[in-house]
């Protein structure tokens, strides 16, 4: 009797572990788009002139035109060669994938633009809150980022380079690490 109960418990444990692995695998698959790349993800605009369209194709109207290459945007959906993007202001629309780059950039605390003067994001010499300040970035300043460790990102802007707290930029997810 005891061995039957143990075998039943073991079978149940194996079935439960197998189904949990399947659920985790299915969840991981749901986070990828048709391209096989993660959704959402940050990229930058490759061209100086990029049309933002209301749908995925050239037959759809242009709702906005970006005039700055290197601007960070977030890909939130994929359809064929088109990517639905969102910018730091929350504007969404469709862009052809050929106009996007895998290079990373960020915007210093765009949510703080309306807080008035004297509000800054500190660019520090090292990835430490106590490290010396290399530059004070106004909210909305664009920076290039080369790597993030989950808490800090290595950043450059107009001759200054250092580390910025990941929580103070739009262009890298909280906890995201990359080189």
Mind listing the pLDDT tens digit for each residue in 69-122? 999 999 999 999 999 999 999 999 999 999 999 999 999 999 998 888 889 999
pLDDT value, residue 117: 86
In 10 A of CB 164, how many CB atoms? Answer: 27
Q: Can you give the pTM of this predicted structure?
A: 0.80
Query: What 3-state DSSP class applies to 110?
Result: helix
Burial of 113 (0-12, 13-18, 19+ CB in 10 A): middle
pLDDT of 132 over the 50 cut: yes
pLDDT of 29 over the 70 cut: no
Q: Kind of pairing, strands 105-108 and 142-149?
A: antiparallel
pLDDT value, residue 157: 94
Domain assignment of residue 18, yes or no: no
113 in the same domain as 68: no
Q: What is the mean pLDDT of the chain?
A: 86
Distance CA 164, CA 93 (A): 29
pLDDT value, residue 22: 33
Query: What 3-state DSSP class applies to 83?
Result: strand
In 10 A of CB 136, how many CB atoms? Answer: 14
Give the domain CATH number at 150: 2.30.30.40
Boundary residue ending a domain (78, 103, 128):
103
Cα–Cα distances (Å) from 90 to 94, 98, 159, in that order, read: 13, 22, 29
Boundary residue ending a domain (86, 103, 120):
103
- Domain count along the chain: 2
The band of 7, judged by pLDDT with boundaries at 50, 70 and 90, is very low
Residue 53, token pair as written in the block:
């369209």
pLDDT of 14 over the 60 cut: no
Percent of the chain with pLDDT over 90: 78
Give the chain's length: 179
Beta-bridge partners for 108: 169
| Full domain range(s) for residue 61 | 41-103
């Amino acid at each position: 009797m005891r061995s039957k109960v143990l075998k039943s418990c073991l079978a149940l444990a194996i079935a439960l572990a197998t189904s949990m692995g399947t659920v985790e695998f299915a969840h991981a698959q749901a986070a990828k788009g048709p391209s096989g790349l993660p959704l959402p993800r940050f990229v930058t605009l490759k061209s100086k002139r990029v049309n933002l369209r209301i749908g995925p194709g050239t037959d759809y109207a242009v709702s906005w035109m970006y005039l700055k290459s290197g601007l960070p945007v977030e890909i939130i959906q994929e359809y064929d060669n088109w990517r639905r993007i969102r910018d730091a202001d929350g504007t969404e629309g469709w862009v052809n994938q050929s106009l996007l780059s895998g290079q990373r950039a960020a915007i210093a605390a765009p949510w703080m633009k309306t807080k008035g003067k004297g509000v800054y994001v500190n660019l520090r010499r090292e990835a430490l809150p106590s490290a010396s300040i290399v530059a004070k970035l106004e909210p909305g300043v664009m920076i290039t980022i080369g790597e993030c460790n989950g808490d800090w990102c290595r950043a450059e802007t107009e001759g200054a380079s250092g580390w910025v707290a990941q929580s103070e930029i739009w262009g890298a997810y909280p906890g995201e690490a990359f080189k």
